[in-house]
Structure 1
Amino acid sequence: MTEPLDLTLDELRLELAPQIALAAMFDGWSDVALASAAEVAGVDPAVARLAFPSKGLQGRAMDMIDAWVASVDERMEAEFADGRLDNMPIREKIRTLVWFRLESIEGLEESLSRAMTVQAMPQNVADTLKQGWSSADKMWRLAGDTATDYNHYTKRAILGSIYAATLAVWKSDDSEDKAATRAFLDRRIEGVMKFEKLKGQFLGKDREHFDVARFLGRLRYPQG
């Protein structure tokens, strides 16, 4: 294990993030949680604060949450770097990746709830969307997606919304083995598969000139 003093500030952010998340169950995403994580890691609190440089309590809270999300991203990428997803159907790849992320933060439902409260603040919404987009992009890349056209954007937007909705269910799910969340995720993925089929039928020969906004508008306001 690399000693804290040998880490760059970016590396230190990722090193501290899981411990900060643990402390956030009791202290919120606060300087107290950061100081607690630094003590556990044997890092000078002043140095730890340098790794989360945003000014103000909410700015630093978003820094810490972003590092937590990034640490889950990193763990996911390391876990599936062996190519085990290659022979799975696409829906199983996505289900596996999403569920791995949920299992990675098991026991931290309170920390997640507090994080989502911070993320929902008006000044943080843009950064929250960026976090979701980045994680969705990493999941699609691990799933083998190489699309560079409109599909690149629609897939990530849709998966980001599925993941966010599933997190919201998961954090309050007290069913055995999170069965309610599993069922919710399966329904959402099945809905996307139907959407993709409908989209393919809708596009026909105009696939290369597909207008996402126009398509969604027609779904919402079908022509008579």
Structure 2
Amino acid sequence: MERSGSGCRLGACPFDGWSEATLRAAIADSGCAPALARALFPRGGIDLAVAYHLRGDRMMRDALGASDLSAMRFRDKVAHAVRLRLEAVGERELVRRGTTLFALPQHAAEGAKLIWGTADAIWVALGDTARDFSWYSKRATLSAVYGSTVLYWLGDDSTGNQATWDFLDRRIGDVMQIEKAKAAIKDNALGKALLAGPAKLMEKWRVPTVPDDLPGRMMDRFR
């Protein structure tokens, strides 16, 4: 069994959810030593769900790296990345169960962190180099787009998920309208005056960094 969640079968998940029962079934299917599995997934099913999500992010990055994006508009690159991420899922019911799990109050923060991580993975894969306030705004916006698209996709029964891709295109179109409005405000004298204070404050925002050389800290090797 791998920490990525890709080295075991998850056939029990559609029935038992991301639960202790699913983890036990995965251990039995994979032949992994129970002690090793417990070390890899100390919180049980929740850690298995997290690993499955991170595996999807990694598959998306690999697929995006192999794609020819040279002729695409940037908005189309983003849409393509989101589509690749959904296509990396494999089985929709696993995501449905994960959505239910991360909607629980005790796991909501973890779910939000995973969606933010997916948005970050997409931006990094597309070459984003922002280190100021826009680093936050880009990921927050894409997190909202990705999250709403996942929910739509879970209920989509159209051929080839075409309704989902149309929905995604509309959401990205909405974001582009917001960006156009922001640009218009910046070009307006009154808008510049009104935003001068907040803009000065936002200039101080920087990408969060976490020291990786502190005693007792081990970097996450599983992303």
TM-score band, normalised by shorter chain: 0.7 to 0.9
- Describe the shift of the 1:167–1:17 C-alpha distance in structure 2 as closer, same or farther (beyond 3 A): farther
The aligned residue for residue 159 of structure 1 is 142
The aligned residue for residue 84 of structure 1 is 68
Higher-helix-fraction structure: 1
Count the aligned residue pairs: 195
Indicate the SS of the match to 1:14.
Answer: coil
The aligned residue for residue 68 of structure 1 is 52
Cα distance in 1 for residues equivalent to 2:135 and 2:180: 16
Indicate the SS of the match to 1:13.
Answer: coil
Which amino acid in the other structure matches residue 77 of structure 1? R
The 8 Å contact of residues 17 and 67 in structure 1, kept in 2 or not, is answered as no
TM-score (normalised: structure 1): 0.78
Q: Deviation of residue 30 (structure 1)?
A: 1.4
Match of 2:33 among 6, 29, 44: 44
- Describe the shift of the 1:13–1:192 C-alpha distance in structure 2 as closer, same or farther (beyond 3 A): same
The aligned residue for residue 9 of structure 2 is 19
| Deviates further, 29-38 or 149-158 | 29-38
Match of 2:102 among 119, 132, 141: 119
Mapping of residues 182-193 of structure 1, within 5 Å: 182-193=165-176
Which amino acid in the other structure matches residue 183 of structure 1? D
- Describe the shift of the 1:19–1:199 C-alpha distance in structure 2 as closer, same or farther (beyond 3 A): farther
Consecutive unaligned residues in structure 1, runs of 5 or more: 5-11, 55-59, 213-224
Indicate the SS of the match to 2:4.
Answer: helix
Consecutive unaligned residues in structure 2, runs of 5 or more: 203-223
What do you get for the CA RMSD once the two structures are aligned? 2.3
Identical aligned pairs, as a percentage?
A: 36
The aligned residue for residue 21 of structure 2 is 32
The aligned residue for residue 128 of structure 1 is 111
